[in-house]
Amino acid sequence: MAREGRVVIAGVATHWGSELARALARSPGVGQIIGIDTSEPEVDLGRTEFVEADIRNPVISRLLPTLEPDVVVHCGIVGYPEKGRPSRALHDINVIGTLQLLAACEKVKNLKALVVRGSAAIYGSSPSAPAFFTEDMARQFPLETRFQRDIGELEGYFDNFARRHPSITCTMLRFQTEIGAGLDNPLTRYLSLPVVPTQMGWDPRLQPLHAADATGALTAATLNPVRGAVNVAPDGAISLSRLLRLAGKPAIGVPPVLSGLLLSRVGSMVGSGDMENDGQLLLRYGRGCDNRRLREDVGYELAFDAEGAARDFVAKKSASSPLAAGRVFPAPHPGSPVRSVK
């Protein structure tokens, strides 16, 4: 990224959008930082300017060019239902929102880079899958769930945009599932259940990505974008059974005939609307991703491997008091300047 470049973050009110804004504010060579979302962030973003706008609204095509970004980072892709983003709205947020944002980027003069915080769900989870997917293996296996199909569709729009605009460096980051004592997502809630249901006869290999590495990789790709897809995953993998032993969690094996029904119930408990589909496949077959491009091309060195991320999560959860369990984010702060665009 050019020195003193201007960065616009779409989806700045999400956890990862806010973390990116805070990291960029500490990075030399970053000029103005502008965040866009439908609601104001819950944390203090320091010098980041907030603009209230919905990327699903065609008005974004008029707004974005006026901000004159050098780099646009899309952090607004949502992997599971959450407050203000219910299950029925995920397709519109992920696919329609991405399509509208890409249309707006086409109207930005001198845009240098577009970075999208996507998902490794594009690879799916399959018994015939390789131990570690490389970036060129996307779409070699069926997209079986709603979220996978949404990711495939939005990546198709992204690829078309990149082909039409070769002067813009377009980076698609495919994140594995994040883990961290301060995170509130379906994986951390699943691991926090008093008794954890597993699928009898299966012990999947997982790649939990430490929260610090998730932010670090996103920041590194924003500062040094590369063309094409990049897997964001830790070294190695850890079996679900070992992860549960580290966490000291008793597991109960569920026969395959009942696993769909049970995981549907678990999905309701942990806030994952597609747990019966995405979760059932991941917790049966697992998924591994090769991270060579992240290291060699983006230049990011991971602080934690898969087991190290799991150990750190367990240690910090164990050290925290019961009152500290759950969502651990800084208190809301009204310090960021705000512009509202209706």
Split at pLDDT 50, 70, 90, the class of 280 is confident
Question: Does position 277 have pLDDT exceeding 50, yes or no?
Answer: yes
**How is residue 289 annotated by DSSP?**
B
pLDDT value of residue 3: 43
**Which whole number is the average pLDDT over 183-196?**
91
Split at pLDDT 50, 70, 90, the class of 134 is very high
d(CA 234, CA 247): 19
More confident call, 256 vs 172: 172
Question: Does position 335 have pLDDT exceeding 50, yes or no?
Answer: no
**Which whole number is the average pLDDT over 273-288?**
78
Question: Does position 166 have pLDDT exceeding 90, yes or no?
Answer: yes
**pLDDT tens digit string along 284-320?**
999 999 999 999 999 999 999 999 999 999 999 888 7
Question: Does position 269 have pLDDT exceeding 60, yes or no?
Answer: no
Question: Does position 168 have pLDDT exceeding 60, yes or no?
Answer: yes
Question: Does position 75 have pLDDT exceeding 80, yes or no?
Answer: yes
Provide the mean pLDDT of the chain. Answer: 87
pLDDT value of residue 263: 58
d(CA 42, CA 135): 34
**Which whole number is the average pLDDT over 250-275?**
63
Question: Does position 329 have pLDDT exceeding 90, yes or no?
Answer: no
**pLDDT tens digit string along 190-203?**
999 999 999 889 99
Tokens (6 digits) for 170: 């377009």
pLDDT value of residue 141: 86
Strands (E), the chain: 5-10, 30-37, 49-52, 71-74, 113-119, 169-175, 178-179, 196-199, 205-206, 209-210, 228-232, 238-239, 251-254, 338-340
Question: Does position 336 have pLDDT exceeding 50, yes or no?
Answer: no
d(CA 189, CA 105): 36
Split at pLDDT 50, 70, 90, the class of 86 is low
Question: Does position 221 have pLDDT exceeding 50, yes or no?
Answer: yes
Tokens (6 digits) for 326: 């759950």
Do 11 and 36 meet the contact criterion of CB atoms below 8 Å apart?
yes
Strands 238-239 and 205-206 turn out to be antiparallel
Split at pLDDT 50, 70, 90, the class of 225 is very high
Domains of the chain by residue range: 5-340
Which CATH entry fits the domain spanning 5-340: 3.30.360.10, 3.90.320.10, 3.40.50.300, 3.40.50.720?
3.40.50.720
**Which whole number is the average pLDDT over 177-181?**
95
